[in-house]
Amino acid sequence: MRRFNVDPAYAPMIAAGRVAEDAISEVVRKATDLRMKPRSTPLTPKQKAAWDNLVKEFGEDARQLEWPSAREACEEAVKAMTAEAEKLLEHPAARRAYDNFLLVCKLVQETEYE
């Protein structure tokens, strides 16, 4: 995937991150939960017996297990932060403050520093 000309909304993302730490933690926890995946190496007879017992106790879904990548967890966290930022920017005062922040950022970018 490629992203071009992304204008990151740093201020609301940081604000959303501070406000939504609990929600983001929960999203990351869920995003890193154990999940199913095909196994590529054969099991020993002892492992097979243990696995069969696991499936007996947990059901057929326990036949394939995997964990998501750190990238997938991060993507879920960013989605949660974006949702929180959008909620914050629904308030007119927050939207005006953010628009002013963007204006100042653009003015600063156009200024040469010595």
φ, ψ of residue 37 in degrees (nearest 5): -160, 145
| Per-residue model confidence as pLDDT tens digits over 65-113 | 667 777 777 777 778 877 878 888 899 998 898 888 888 877 887 776 6
Q: Which amino acid is at 93?
A: A
- Domain ranges within the chain, ordered by starting residue: 9-33+71-114, 36-67
pLDDT score of 65: 67
Token look-up 């929180």 returns 84
Contact call for residues 20 and 81 (beta carbons, < 8 A):
yes
